[in-house]
Each structure stands twice: as C-alpha cells, then as structure tokens.
Structure 1
C-alpha cells in the first residue's frame, strides 16, 4: 500500500498518496526549482538579498501552492505538460506583466501545459494558485457544468472576472491550503481527496465565469423525477460520502439543473441536503467509535470534511452538540430508566 508523505525538506515521492512541501529560499534559482515538473528560470531584477517562501499540497495530480518573493523577478520557461493552472495575487507592490499583459491585485492568471511562461513579478509578490490535470478539468466541466472550459480559456492569459469572483477564488484557495496544511494526514482518506478535488474544480469553474444552461429549464415534472432519482441513489449509497458531482454524473444532469430541481421540490439546495446526510453518517460513526482508538478528525475526513472548523460548526448546528461530545458519549451509551 502506498504511504502518505508529509515533506518539509523538499524531496518528492511520486508514489506517495499526497505530499506537503514547505521551503524557504535565499536565491532565485532555488525558488524556481520549488514547483515540481516545471521547467523554469527565475532572474532577479531588483537589488538586495533574495528571500522566498513556498508551500505546496499535492494529491491526485493536483498542485495547490503559494509562492512569496521579496524581489522583482522575471520568470520564464514551461509549466508541466497536461495541466491547467490558475493563480491570483494575494499581495503585490507595483504592477506585474504576465504573458505581455499587465496584472493587478485582482487578476486571475492562467496557463495550459505547453504554454510558454513569461512573467515579470513585482517586488513583494505573493500568489496562490492551483494546477489541475486538463483531462480531469475538462471531464468535470462537461459532465457537471455542461461546458467546454478549455474552449472558453483558449488564448486567455488573464481571466476577466468581477472583483467579487476574484476575492472568492483567492479566499477559497487560501482557506483550503491553510486547512489542509494543518492536518495533511487527512488526505490519506479517499473521501477527503475526492471532496477537496471537487471543491477545487468547482472553484476554478466559478472563477472562470458562469454560462446559461438550457437544461435548467426542465419542467416541474422532470425536476421532481430528478430529485426522486437522486434520493433513491442516496438511499442505496447511504454509507458513502457522496458529492453533488457524483449525483450529476449518475443522473446525467448539470449542477444548475440539480440545484433548481432540489430548490423547487425540497426548498433545499443539493449541497445542504448532501451535507446533512454526511453529517448523519459522521454521527453514526462517532456513536459507535472507540474514543481511545478513533478521533473526530479522522472520522470527519472519512466522510470528506476537509475544513474542520466549518465541520464542527455545522455539526453543532445540526445536532446541538460538538462532535467531540458525541464521541465521548459513545463510551457511555444511554441506559434504560
């Protein structure tokens, strides 16, 4: 069985289920070497001692990373083949240029594997980005969103997005990176990897923009049938941490059609409905678990909850107690009176 890797020294294990890498650099060449499988050269442009930081989460071929440099740098080279990357500045001083286009703090930059990197980063530049396999992103958008995102991004280097969309994308990537870096061992669970992968893909699609979906105009009868089929599938897989993406693929409908159908029939969106089911699954597992051998963190990860503070808040709102209280109570089950 493959073993998970938490790596703070910078060596890569391609056979690992996941990896966490943190680095501090004192040279532009060291910084350029941080991203695995990227063929790039950094040239320092501004005078002074170079200082850089890098952190990366890697799993399922997905790279979620943050890079900080204090000096202005010219970056050129090639990103790894078969990937699509989207990045957004966290902080910057002055203006940068990406593939011949000026960028501001509210710019979303994107490249596809095989494209040439040509980027002048300004001083004190901080960027967070995600790189995903093109085939995974393409399949996701076609099956879940009924869109061709690669066609939409053809010849696009800087995505045209509203400030609100950029803020949401940046905030999500930072939250995901921070949450997983605190407890990277959660990525040993397949449900956790699937949940985070779907969340990242969804964030990329939202950042690129929305398009109208004709299938969302399904009749009331059709929407009721969609919800009924979804509920039947969920009952048949009650012990599995299903996602909205799973339902879209099984039912052959877009996310928007599923959303409208649930909202009309149940007055509840499918995300909330599935979250309630997964919370119930966690509760059942907590109630039967041995507190000496199992933790809330591990059980939550088995059900795909990657943001532990959000999970704890949702659990308490649903059941009126913290998950840790449920776990402790499993050692003292209720008795007849």
Structure 2
C-alpha cells in the first residue's frame, strides 16, 4: 500500500524554456520565449499522494500552451508580475487567481518577470464541500469560471504558507519532514476554494474584442504550419478573413508582440528545438533553412539576440551534454 505521508521534491533551474515547461508533470505544456535574452527559470515543488505545491520563477516573457492533468485541479496566483499577464482571453494582474481545469487546454502569457505559487489537488477532495453534487461538478465549475480576483486574507495566507514551506525545504531539504504541513495546506486550499465558490467571483479584464483570442489562435496555427515558408501579414489576413488592424491588435493583446515579431519568435524557437535535438550531424545552416532563414548571418544574429547565445553554442553545448 502506498504511504499517504510519502513526499517527493522537485527542484529545477532551467536555461531553456522547454526544459522548464516539461519539468512539471501536472501541466502538459509547451513554453515559447517571447522576450529577448538568455532564459532563466526555476521551479520548486513538493508532492504527497493527493497534493502538490509549487513556486515558479520566470525571467523572460513566455507564452504557455497546454492541457491540465486530468486527475488534478491546479490553482495558481502571482507573487510578482512586472506587467499584466494574459490568461484564456483575459488580461490578469497580481490580484488574479487562475484555475487549470482537469483535461482542459489553456493559454498563458507571462511578462518578463514573474513569480507564482500554486497548489494541485485531486477533484475528489472537493466532494466533501458539496456531497450532493455530481462528481464532475467541480470540473464544470472551474471550466466556466477559471479566473477570479482575490484580495482577501485567505488567499495571501495560502500563498505565504506555500512559499514558507518551499523555502524551509531548501535545495537540500528533506521532503519527508513536511508531510504534516502539506496536509494542513490541503485543508487551507479546500477552505479557500469553498470561499471562492460561495462568493461566485470572476475576475480579469476581458479583451475589448472577444474575437481576438480566436484570431490569434488561428493565425498561430497557420504560422506553425508554414514555419519554413515565406508568410506575410497580408497572407495571414487573406487566409483568416480579417483586417490588418484586427490581426495586429489581437497579437498585441495576447502575445504583447506584433504578428511579424511573433512569427520570428516561433521560427527561432523551432530552430532552438532542432539544435538541441538528438538528430546526429545536424548543422546550423540546415536548421536556419528549415525555419525560413535563408541568410545565415542574419539568423545567427537574431538567434543570439533572442536566446543570449549563438546557434553554434547551443549546438555545441547540447552535444557536450550528451557525451558527458
């Protein structure tokens, strides 16, 4: 029988956005770096059987897409935000709390600096709040209300307790010593969610035009399908049936970048994935051509500006890591 008090710990210091994204198994996600410079991120998490608490720090703006784990409800709130963020059709700030609903797709853009804490619970733990409700009640609830504003004491108590617990374990802490604290946090989180439901709050500032998320999503899909081909804003507008102004506003609202700049980040991110892949014998020139850069010096310059290192350095570092 599994020990209900058994705990495990995760500590990640990442220099690549996808390394950071893949380290947290409860959110099946992908990170695209949007701002320029070397990426730096940390993730600290402690888990017991039915609860995980975590703290994530990001020092570049990233666009996060993915699907939440089907067995957990995850809520998260920012401790620090250098600017507003974007979450599933809304602009959010430090007063916002977001809910990653089991099995549901999500979109999140963080600013150039963010620190958030969160907690993941099994939905069955919430049944005690309303035993008469059907088993899928909570999933439907947070699907329809996945963001709310919160300035109350209970939220800040929860944030402080999570941060304190993670700091206490430290880089070499013993997670087995915090089983009782995790159980206390589980009860505090359940009480907090109960208070949110009773108030029926919703939060975050809706985008001025409801169609912006749909336009941006369709444009992004078209970009991903044609990363190695010439693709202009006019091409996208014709394909989507929207105006240049609508496309520009949609991208600025969601990605904080125009469509041309965002397409460049997608191409550079694809190049980085290829340079750090397991494909033997791959060259920088081949990668550049594959993602639509026909001018190698221009590619090297843009890549270094985006990631803080030359493409040849990324390739060499990955090969050294493979054979170390």
User: How high is the TM-score relative to the length of structure 1?
Assistant: 0.51
State the Cα distance separating 1:49 from its structure 2 match.
0.2
Query: 1:123 aligns to what?
Result: 112
Query: 1:82 aligns to what?
Result: 71
Identify which of 86, 92, 96 aligns with 1:97. Answer: 86
3-state SS in 2 of match to 1:204? helix
CA displacement 1:30-70 (0-9 Å, x = unmatched): 11011114321100000000000100011123111111010
Query: 1:279 aligns to what?
Result: none
Matched residues, number? 195
Query: 2:130 aligns to what?
Result: 142
CA displacement 1:229-253 (0-9 Å, x = unmatched): xxxxxxxxxxxxxxxxxxxxxxxxx
Cα separation, partners in 2 of 1:152 and 1:165, compared to 1, 3 Å: farther
Structure-2 separation of matches of 1:151 and 1:117: 15
Query: 1:185 aligns to what?
Result: 176
The 5-angstrom pairing of residues 1-337 of structure 1 reads 17-137=6-126, 139-142=127-130, 150=139, 152-179=141-168, 182-187=173-178, 194-206=183-195, 208-210=196-198
Gaps spanning 5+ residues in structure 1: where? Answer: 5-15, 213-337
RMSD: 3.0
Query: 1:269 aligns to what?
Result: none
Structure-1 separation of matches of 2:27 and 2:143: 21
Structure-2 separation of matches of 1:31 and 1:94: 21
Gaps spanning 5+ residues in structure 2: where? Answer: 201-324
CA displacement 1:247-292 (0-9 Å, x = unmatched): xxxxxxxxxxxxxxxxxxxxxxxxxxxxxxxxxxxxxxxxxxxxxx
State the Cα distance separating 1:140 from its structure 2 match.
2.8
Query: 2:244 aligns to what?
Result: none
State the Cα distance separating 1:187 from its structure 2 match.
4.3
Contact 1:38 1:78 in 2 (8 A): yes
Structure-2 separation of matches of 1:3 and 1:119: 35
Structure-1 separation of matches of 2:149 and 2:85: 16
State the Cα distance separating 1:106 from its structure 2 match.
1.0
3-state SS in 2 of match to 1:153? helix
Structure-2 separation of matches of 1:195 and 1:169: 10
Query: 2:273 aligns to what?
Result: none
Contact 1:82 1:112 in 2 (8 A): no
Structure-2 separation of matches of 1:128 and 1:134: 19
State the Cα distance separating 1:92 from its structure 2 match.
1.0
CA displacement 1:205-245 (0-9 Å, x = unmatched): 34x25469xxxxxxxxxxxxxxxxxxxxxxxxxxxxxxxxx
Cα separation, partners in 2 of 1:209 and 1:178, compared to 1, 3 Å: farther
User: How high is the TM-score relative to the length of structure 2?
Assistant: 0.53
Contact 1:88 1:129 in 2 (8 A): yes
